[in-house]
Amino acid sequence: MGTISHFDAVMSGGAMSTAAPKGRKHLCADALFNLLHGSFANIADDGVDEVEMPLSDVLMSAFAMFSLKAPSLLAFDKQRAEGNLKTIYGISHAPCDTRMRERLDPVSPESLRPSFKSVFRQLQRGKALEPRVFLNGHY
């Protein structure tokens, strides 16, 4: 049985270690999640009066939901109650399913592109994507 790489674990949402291969700490899950969280903090927040739940936490919660492969918002809401989101994803306040929908609906998908480009760029620089090149340099 083959071994699973750290990148595979992060991208599949499976169990993951926060340790990176020696000399590649910028590719560990913690570093990539922090990069994403910081990038989300730069997205304009229309809910300016939203002091207790910044948009970056709502966006990271949505990312966590997909990363953890929650089958529904309700299932994710149960995981949210367990409290591991702060430890793994750096989320101070995770929204309930209704609040997540309300906060994410006005967010333009185009405003998310720079966040994911920054993570993609980091993975390219660290050569973590090379094993996924399949045809003419495409991933």
Tens place of pLDDT per residue across the chain (139 aa): 444 444 444 444 444 444 444 557 778 888 999 999 999 999 988 765 556 789 999 999 999 999 989 898 888 888 777 777 888 898 888 888 888 889 999 999 999 999 999 999 999 899 888 888 888 888 7
Asked if the structure places residue 1 within a domain, the reply is no
pTM for this prediction: 0.74
Tally of structural domains, the chain: 1
Asked if the structure places residue 126 within a domain, the reply is yes
Q: Which residues of 4-39 are buried (b: 16+ CB within 10 A; e: fewer)?
A: eebbeebbeeeebeeebeeeeeebbbbbbbebbbeb
Q: For residue 74, what are the domain limits? A: 6-132
Asked if the structure places residue 91 within a domain, the reply is yes
Asked if the structure places residue 139 within a domain, the reply is no
Q: Which pLDDT score is estimated for 48?
A: 57
Q: Which pLDDT score is estimated for 11?
A: 47
Asked if the structure places residue 38 within a domain, the reply is yes
Asked if the structure places residue 138 within a domain, the reply is no
Q: Which pLDDT score is estimated for 15?
A: 41
What 3-state DSSP class applies to 30?
helix
